[in-house]
Amino acid sequence: MLRVISLMMTGMLALVVSSCGGDATSETQDGTPSTKAQAQTATYVMMPESTAIAVTLVDSIDTDVHISGTEFRAKLSEPIVVDGHTLFPYGAEAKGELNKVVESGRLTTPAELNFSLTAIQDAGGRWVDVETDTIMEKKASHTDREVAMIGGGAIVGGIIGKVVNKKGSTEIGAVAGAAAGTGLSAATGKRDIFYGAGSEIVFFTSNPMKITLR
């Protein structure tokens, strides 16, 4: 008889423990849903490949100043909405990277810039990594005629100097003109790529992404 009672009590105790365990997985002591419960109720939305991500630059980008690997900041100029779900709101913080920067040379080296978006901050403040197609831009090389004109700036400047400096000696005029020619070279010899803060740029995702809505 005692053995039967003991088995019955053991069974009841097991049921009580099991019931308590089930409650713990769905709710914590302060009444908020547990991590497991949150995972079960989270909504996932697929952001398709080639989704447009329109941003406004917070930082300027300049091949004359920045180097490869530099990070830049931006903000979404349009919310990203998929199937009626707002994945990222208007004004969300974003950041990207200058993948390749080539500064313009004075005569022959054209400026080159490759950059992409790397992450966006969601409404909850969590940074979400993104992969976008790289925007690539390269300035055209100087033509032979342009290079010859820039290289001969000092000679042309010397002639101009003789004309504009009527009261000075030819030597002074030539020096002044040569300086003017150097200034012309500095003004026309470099063609860097520049995007000022406030510039609007559109990136496109390079693959589908699974976004968690919270």
What confidence score (pLDDT) does residue 180 get? 38
Of residues 87 and 43, the one with the higher pLDDT is 87
Per-residue pLDDT tens digits for 138-167: 988 655 554 454 444 444 444 334 444 444
Evaluate whether 41 touches 25 at the Cβ level (below 8 Å).
no
Whole-number Cα distances in Å, 24 to 32, 121, 161, 168: 11, 32, 89, 95
Domain assignments of the chain as residue spans, ordered by start: 1-41, 46-139+199-213, 144-188
What confidence score (pLDDT) does residue 109 get? 87
Average pLDDT over residues 116-129: 96
Q: For residue 137, is pLDDT > 80?
A: yes
Which residue, 47, 21, 11, is CA-closest to 209? 47
Per-residue pLDDT tens digits for 4-59: 445 555 555 555 445 554 444 445 555 555 555 444 577 899 999 999 999 999 99
Q: How far apart are CA 114 and CA 137, in angstroms?
A: 6
pTM for this structure? 0.62
What confidence score (pLDDT) does residue 32 get? 52
CA dihedral 49, 52, 57, 62 (to 10 degrees): 60
% of the chain residues with pLDDT over 70: 58
Evaluate whether 119 touches 151 at the Cβ level (below 8 Å).
no
Q: What's the pLDDT band for 186 if we cut at 50, 70, 90?
A: very low
- CB burial class (10 A; 0-12, 13-18, 19+) of residue 82? middle
Of residues 7 and 103, the one with the higher pLDDT is 103
Q: For residue 97, is pLDDT > 90?
A: yes
Name residues whose C-beta falls within 8 Å of residue 108's C-beta, 6 or more positions apart in sequence.
141, 142, 147
Of residues 169 and 35, the one with the higher pLDDT is 35
What confidence score (pLDDT) does residue 213 get? 85
What confidence score (pLDDT) does residue 172 get? 35
Q: What is the mean pLDDT of the chain?
A: 75
CATH number belonging to the domain at 46-139+199-213, selected among 1.10.3720.10, 3.40.50.300, 2.40.40.20, 2.40.128.260: 2.40.128.260
Strand 43-47 vs strand 85-88: parallel, antiparallel, or unpaired? unpaired
Average pLDDT over residues 57-68: 97
What confidence score (pLDDT) does residue 49 get? 97
